[in-house]
Amino acid sequence: MYLLKVNNCAETRRFYFSAPKKLTLSNQTLSMLKFLSKVKIEFNALDPRTAACMEFLAQCNARTAKESNPSCQLLVKRRTDSYPPQISVTFVNGVEEVFDATSTPAQTIRKMILEKGQQLETEQMFREAGEKWPVIIPAEEIHQSFPGTKPRKAEEKKQ
C-alpha cells in the first residue's frame, strides 16, 4: 500500500492505493498459441465494444507468446466502418473459428481455444498410437457396470 498526500488549500487529503501488479502471461496463454496457425482480429478503434479484441491482441502480442509459436500469423485489421469487432482463429489442423468479440470476453475465447487444443492433442496421441479416431465405444460397454477400485491400506501397499 502506498500513501498519496494531496495538499488542498483547505485540507490535506490522504488516498491509499495499491501498486499495480505486474502483468504476466499464464502458461495457459502461452499454450493457447501453440494450437493456432493464424489469428485475425478485426475492430474499429473508436468502437466502445473492442475490449475483448484489445485484450486478446495484447495476449498474442506479448514477446513470450510470440516466442512460444513464431509460426502463428497475427493479422490485425483496423476497420473504419461500424462492423462489429470479431476474432478469427485458425487451428493447426486448418479448422477456422470466428468469435463475436462484442458478446464474448477474451477469457472465454481463450478457454474455448484451450479446450479445442486439448481435443487436438488427444486426437494426435491416438493417431500416433495407431488407434482410430474418433474412438467408438460399443453401446454394450457403455451400459456395463464398473466394478470400481478398492483403496488399499498403507500396510497392504508395503507388502
Render pLDDT for 119-142 as a digit per residue (tens, 0 to 9).
998 888 888 988 888 878 888 888
Residue 9's pLDDT is 45
With cell 501397499, the residue in question is 157
Q: Phi-psi category of 12—alpha, beta or left, where left has phi over 0 and alpha has psi -120 to 50?
A: beta
The answer on pLDDT for 155 being more than 90 is no
Q: Which three cell numbers stand for residue 44?
A: 474499429
The answer on pLDDT for 14 being more than 60 is no
Amino acid sitting at position 142: I
Terminal alpha carbon distance of the chain: 56
CB atoms within 10 A of CB 114: 15
Taking domain 30-120, whether its CATH number is 3.40.30.10 is answered by yes
- Distance (Å, rounded) from C-alpha 11 to C-alpha 134? 72
Q: How far is CA 7 from the centre of its chain?
A: 45
Number of residues that make up the chain = 159
Ranges of each domain in the chain: 30-120
Q: How confident is the model at residue 46 (pLDDT cuts 50, 70, 90)?
A: very high
CB atoms within 10 A of CB 120: 16
Which residues face 91 on adjacent strands? 36
